[in-house]
Structure 1
Amino acid sequence: MSMSRPGAVPKVPTLPAGDEVAAFPTYIEAQKAVDYLSDNKFPVENVTIVGTDLRMVERVTGRLTYGRVALAGALSGAWFGFFVGLLLTLFAGSTASGVLFVGIALGAGFGLLFSVLSYAFTGGRRDFTSSSQIVATSYAILCAREQSDDARSLLARSPGGLGRGGAAPSWGSPAAGAGAPATPPAPVATPAPTPVATPAPPVGAPASDNGEAPDTPARTPDPRWTTPTGEPRYGAMRPSDDDKPHS
């Protein structure tokens, strides 16, 4: 309900607004809490009972047979015949009692006949009787925000401990709605990349221009044509590729 107008029921289905002052697992406990507020002169027109997590419960009450169908149809028809016969007695005069009994008998007969035929047409697809209810998992008590503190403190002082569960968030507010601002997630620390070790070039191999080892191994100078320092001997000519020893 709208908290701006106490007691007003909206024309379209609308979620209630207010602060949750208590929550209970059964409707009876929620009803006792509201009754306690009313007994203590609290303005209960600002209070709403909201059932959450609704479930439809169908309890099977018994097996359906032709005998039970006929009996139920006869009883319902007899009540209808009694009503019709009672209206006819106003114009029957001295035969009022006879008209009343005829109406009851005819109503019971037609009710029995229609019930048996209806059950026969179902083909035994539903041979049981049941009772359905809408049940909630929990029942919350909401109150107008300007009076929620008073209601919460009043329920906390109740002898039966009716004030439990009053720390839930508000209904109809950004904190409890879908439009609440989301809290940004904490940044995730990214692990530093592990450095890859570069293999050292072989001993005696000259380094390339970019500091890396060449793909081909270094050529060892021929001692016949070079000095111990690697320089060519005086008067010696560099061997051509044809003069080099073949492996």
Structure 2
Amino acid sequence: MGPTIPRGFVLGEFTNYSDATAMVEKLLAGEFKADNVSLIGHSPVLVERIKSRLGYGRVALSGAMTGFWIGLIFALVVGAGINVGPAGELSYNPQQFFAVVVLSAGIGMLFNITRFSLSKTKRGFLSTQMPVAAKWEVIVPETEAANAKKLLGSASDA
């Protein structure tokens, strides 16, 4: 049997999550059993928040940074710039190491710019999506409703 929606007495309905959790905090401060309280969100809505503009400059910088990190890891793994002489002596040539890193950053930048310019769904912004409930209910079992109302009444009097 899967999860079920809790049933019981609705202590309060709220339009935002922080108000609903404030009521739960009041109940818990009054020594109400935590496992008797449920928060239920109704009418989920997908909210997309715009973070920033997106243009070729940001795309190029992002690609260069990704390429830089990939190049750095690759250079460290293959030992770019480290040479072993005929007698077994080691020598380090930092120009080779940095050449691998810079070349990788350039390739990453070009790859990202090309990918962005060929994108069919080119958007001019960056965003994040999250589900948000339109209404919140604080619910307790019917048998505990009187105790919960008493605790909330004494918490508001204090």
Same fold (TM over 0.5): yes
Runs of 4 or more off by more than 4 Å in structure 1? 79-82, 92-95, 97-107
**1:132 partner letter:** Q
Higher helix proportion (structure 1 or 2): 2
Structure 1 position 112 matched with structure 2 position 122: no
Structure 1, gaps ≥5 residues long? 1-10, 162-247
8 Å contact 1:64–1:129 — kept in the other structure? yes
Q: Which has the higher contact order (CA 8 A, sep 6+)?
A: 2
Distance 1:139 1:50 in 2: 6
Change over 3 Å in CA distance of 1:77–1:154 after alignment to 2: farther
Distance 1:146 1:22 in 2: 16
Structure 1 position 61 matched with structure 2 position 51: yes
Report the equivalent of 2:128: 131
Q: CA deviation at 1:116?
A: 1.7
Report the equivalent of 1:47: 37
- How much identity, in percent, do the aligned residues show? 31
**1:24 partner letter:** F
Distance 1:86 1:47 in 2: 55
Structure 2, gaps ≥5 residues long? 83-89
8 Å contact 2:50–2:125 — kept in the other structure? yes
Distance 1:68 1:57 in 2: 24
Higher strand proportion (structure 1 or 2): 2
* Bigger CA radius of gyration: 1
Structure 1 position 157 matched with structure 2 position 154: yes
> How many residues are paired up?
148
**TM-score relative to the length of structure 1:** 0.48
Q: What is the root-mean-square deviation in Å for CA atoms of aligned residues?
A: 3.5
Distance 2:55 2:91 in 1: 42
**TM-score relative to the length of structure 2:** 0.69
